Amino acid sequence: MKFLAGEFDVAVVGAGHAGIEAGLAAARLGCKTGVFTINMDAVGNCPCNPSIGGTAKGHLVREIDALGGEMGKAADECFLQSRMLNRGKGPAVHSLRAQIDRRAYSTRMKHCLELQDNLELRQAEITDLVRSDDGAWLLTTRLEAQYKAKAVILATGTYLGGKIYVGDVSYESGPDGMFPSKYLPDALEKLGMSIRRFKTGTPARVLRSSIDFTDLEEQCGDDPVVPFSYDTTEPGENKVKCYVSWTNDNTKKVILDNISRSPMYSGKIEGVGPRYCPSIEDKIVRFSDKPRHQLFIEPCGLDTEEMYIQGMSSSLPEDVQLDFYHTIKGLEHCIVMRPAYAIEYFCADPIQMNSTLEFRDFPGLYGAGQFNGSSGYEEAAAQGLVAGINAALKIQNKEPMLLDRAGSYIGTLIDDLVTKGCNDPYRMMTSRSEYRLILRQDNADTRLTPTGRKVGLVTDERWEKFCRKQEKIQAELKRIRKTVLSPSEELNAILREKNTSEVKTGVHLIDLLKRPELDYETLTSVDVTRTETDRNVLEQVEIEIKYEGYIQRQLIIVEQVRRLESKRLPADIEYSKIDGLSLEAREKLGKVRPESIGQASRISGVSPADISVLVIYLSTLRHKPEDKV
């Protein structure tokens, strides 16, 4: 018999990376929050790669931290090895990645939820979700307990109707052998929500002692270690090494000889897989001209002997997996502790949501993470944070937090999802942003900490620290603009060594630092007035001055785009009745229901001519006389 077990302001379904950030944000903003998980031991689990960050994903973690989220702090506390990727390229694509202890990370996040004021963590499978007569939401568990909530955030990950595939074998399951969310998909379809099937996968885990590391390339961490969180002052040291190996012709032959046994190619898997993180059999087929594919062997933690084989996800049968793993250098005699598998699951079409991640047709219902069609821990956490903040703000009758493309990667991620949708699991990449030179990870705090402060997630201590850093940046910029270095043999020797032109007259320090061959470290011996030692301050100053011209040009474009974003579109526009719009534009605009002219301009199928029609239509609305009584 059903019974009312409790009431919440915000109920979060799922306690993965999206659910954690959503629950913490709502609770920290003063809402009574309930977080529900199918298995309490799976809170903050990393069922795929044991790492946080990576290309573009490191940007997301920094932005989450700048807004007051938790992922960066947890990653810093649980990291095993830290590396800055793409150092050989420009600062726009520098991305931090940390190998983490996945069990330590999960334990740390679970404890964080347990200690959080205004938050209750519950083990329960949500089986039904309905709207009550008073506009609130009723959630029912498998044990027939009911909870009432003003807002609900769905962060179900790959549990929603989860199904595992390994060759011909398939069975209902969540990741890592957990129970799936079996009944909730039916409830969502009854609501009228559009859901579909996606698919992702994970590689095998192998026993460390069965790997021959003799001829493998070592990957060591960076020294000094760069932390994710702006609060982390002493990140610690690298504790482990990672290793690189490659597939070969024998690997390719084993896979191609058995490709018909892959459920992906036999048609058993209906869900759409990730385009940018394909399985090894997909790589072999799609990139048949490549002689080999790189793979990374990474530890899963300090207290386990499991090693993760990054880049080798598969849904081939277990016997085939053993055969192709054994063709790889270092893995010739490896013992597979957990075979690779593919998992198929339900997710929502994100076009149904607005930029707050609230469903337009279901007020008070939000989506976050893989439920929205994205992939990746970092993308999930970013969406969870936004959904949690906006659910709390709506309950408190406050203005929502809206992040645009020009201000953050999080804004880019959400805009891509709710404007363009996704036909396969979405993955963030630096190439997705047209503003990546100003959306660097080094300045995430400058861009977003004021927003986090306004929302209420940035503490007084954090704000004071941020303000001090900004003051230091401005002071250093002022110093290098007025400091003049006289020509000297010492200075010119440095310039000759760096293959840049010598100076014959006094030169401003800022002009020297603008030269691509020079940096703060190179000029240390002649820069005698420098007292600033904070490497974060110096890094940001140096980037700002070296790329000043490019940054200014991009900022001009940003202002032009933001003028379009400020032209808001009423939610009740009937696009089918606007003369001049193409038939395709009417259909796409009616489906997406954009919130601004700027968002409308990014919808596939909406032409510049259609945008002109919308601008004129908006103008007529503003100048339309009110009906006389």
Q: Any idea what the CATH number is for the domain that residue 290 is in? A: 2.40.30.260
pLDDT of residue 47: 93
In this prediction, residue 628 has a pLDDT band, given cuts at 50, 70 and 90, of very low
pLDDT digits (tens, 9 = 90+) for 168-203: 999 999 999 999 999 999 999 999 999 999 999 999
Amino acid at 166: V
Final residue of a structural domain among 549, 579, 607:
549
Q: Is residue 464 part of a domain?
A: no
Instruction: Give the residue among 137, 148, 245, 221 at the shortest CA–CA distance from 187.
Output: 137
pLDDT at 143: 96
Predicted pLDDT at 621: 77
Same domain for 132 and 213?
no
User: Do residues 185 and 81 share a domain?
Assistant: yes
**Does residue 459 sit within a domain?**
no
Residues 143, 129: Cα–Cα separation, whole Å: 14
- The answer to whether residues 156 and 42 belong to one domain is yes
339-382 pLDDT per residue, tens: 999 999 999 999 999 999 999 999 999 999 999 999 999 999 99
- The reported pLDDT for the residue numbered 627 is 47
Q: 514, 549, 584: which is the final residue of a domain?
A: 549
Radius of gyration of the chain (CA): 26
What is the reported pLDDT for 530? 93
Whether residue 236 is found in the same domain as residue 378: no
Q: What is the β-pairing status of strands 169-172 and 306-310?
A: unpaired
Q: How far is CA 442 from CA 88, 520, 539, 547, in A?
A: 16, 16, 8, 14
CA-based max dimension of the chain:
90
DSSP state of 175: G
Instruction: Read off the pLDDT of residues 237-295 as tens digits, 9 standing for 90 and up.
Output: 999 999 999 999 999 999 999 999 988 777 777 777 777 678 899 899 988 899 999 99
619 pLDDT more than 90: no
pLDDT digits (tens, 9 = 90+) for 110-163: 999 999 999 999 999 999 999 998 989 999 999 999 999 999 999 999 999 999
pLDDT range class, residue 567, cuts 50, 70, 90: confident
Residue 429 scores a pLDDT above 60: yes
Average pLDDT, integer, range 24-47: 97
From first CA to last CA, the distance across the chain in angstroms is 55
**Cα separation of 470 and 449, whole Å?**
11
Whether residue 279 is found in the same domain as residue 315: yes
DSSP code, position 138: E
The reported pLDDT for the residue numbered 561 is 83
Residues 57 and 175 in one domain: yes
Question: pTM for the whole thing?
Answer: 0.94
Query: Are residue 441 and residue 330 in the same domain, yes or no?
Result: no
374 lies in some domain: yes
User: Can you give the pLDDT at residue 276?
Assistant: 66
**Tell me, what's the pLDDT at 604?**
85
Residue 419's domain is classified under what CATH number?
Answer: 3.50.50.60
Residue type, 276: Y
Query: Does the residue 618 lie in any domain?
Result: yes
| Torsion sign over Cα 209, 214, 218, 220 | positive
Domain residue limits at 272: 205-344
Q: What is the pLDDT of residues 513-538, one digit of tens each?
A: 999 999 999 999 999 999 998 989 99
pLDDT digits 0-9 by tens, 545-560? 999 999 999 999 888 8
Kindly give the pairing relationship between strand 205-207 and strand 306-310. Answer: antiparallel
Tell me the percentage of the chain whose pLDDT exceeds 90.
83
Q: How far apart are CA 359 and CA 188, in angstroms?
A: 12
Q: Counting every residue, how long is the chain? A: 629
Whether residues 78 and 124 share a domain: the answer is yes
The closest of 335, 202, 314, 336 to 259, measured between CA atoms, is 314
- Judgement on whether residues 337 and 372 belong to the same structural domain of the protein: no
Q: What is the overall mean pLDDT for the chain?
A: 94
The answer on 84 and 41 residing in a single domain is yes
**Could you tell me whether strands 33-37 and 3-13 are parallel, antiparallel, or unpaired per DSSP bridges?**
parallel
How many angstroms separate the CA atoms of 391 and 31, rounded?
A: 9
Is 436:56 a contact under the CB 8 Å cutoff? no
- The structural domain count of the chain equals 4
Percentages helix, strand, coil for the chain, rounded to the nearest 5? 40, 20, 40
Residues 44 and 133 in one domain: yes
pLDDT band of residue 75 (cuts 50, 70, 90) is very high
Mean pLDDT of 208-216: 97
3-state secondary structure of 336: strand
Cβ-count burial of 389 within 10 angstroms (0-12 exposed, 13-18 middle, 19+ buried)?
A: buried
Q: Does 278 reside within a domain? A: yes
With bands split at pLDDT 50, 70 and 90, how would you rate the model's confidence at 625?
Answer: low
CA distance 187 to 598: 35
| Mean pLDDT confidence for 105-109 | 98
Beta strands in 355-474 (DSSP E): 365-367
Cα distance between residue 118 and residue 25, in whole Å: 11
Examine the domain organization and report whether 298 and 360 are in the same domain: no
The whole-number pLDDT of residue 162 equals 97
pLDDT band at 571 (very low <50, low <70, confident <90, very high): confident
- Residue 270 has a pLDDT of 73
43 close to 37: Cβ distance less than 8 angstroms: yes
